[in-house]
Amino acid sequence: MTTEESTPDTIWFVSAADVSGPGVTLHKSSGATTALTRRFDEVKEDWRAMVTSIINLANTTDALAPKAGLRLDELTIELGFTAAGKLAFIAEAGVSGSITLSFKPGEGRATP
């Protein structure tokens, strides 16, 4: 583990798991928690990919909802970071997200 200082091109995470992997730098551990950093560009790419996935899911809903007489008014997604600092959808009951995104239809958006 390293003890380097924070830099503008890194993002710090605290994890209860002892993690390792590509792009993860472990720092000093304090009891049951481990501090780790990931490069900002890697987290930004995770974010871009996640938002693209969310938009694709919303577009699918927009295409199907009118057939049931419904329209998508708002989409709320809970996201969290894995122990290795990767952005992920919350997929387990009882796990709360550290990020909540709420989307509403924007101006100029085509209505189905």
Q: What distances in angstroms separate CA 7 from CA 11, 39, 40, 88, one per listed residue?
A: 8, 9, 10, 24
The pLDDT assigned to 104 comes to 76
The pLDDT assigned to 49 comes to 94
The pLDDT assigned to 1 comes to 41
Asked if residue 72 lies in contact with residue 62, where contact means CB atoms within 8 angstroms, the answer is yes
Structure-token match 């209860």, residue found: 16
The pLDDT assigned to 100 comes to 78
Q: Note the pTM of the prediction, 2 decimals.
A: 0.65
User: Which residues, other chains included, contact 107 with Cβ-Cβ below 8 Å and sequence gap of 6+?
Assistant: none
Q: Phi then psi for 33, rounded to 5 degrees?
A: -115, 155
Per-residue pLDDT of the chain (112 residues; tens, 9 = 90+): 444 556 778 877 776 666 666 666 666 666 656 777 888 898 899 999 999 998 998 888 888 888 888 887 888 888 888 777 888 887 665 556 677 777 777 765 554 4
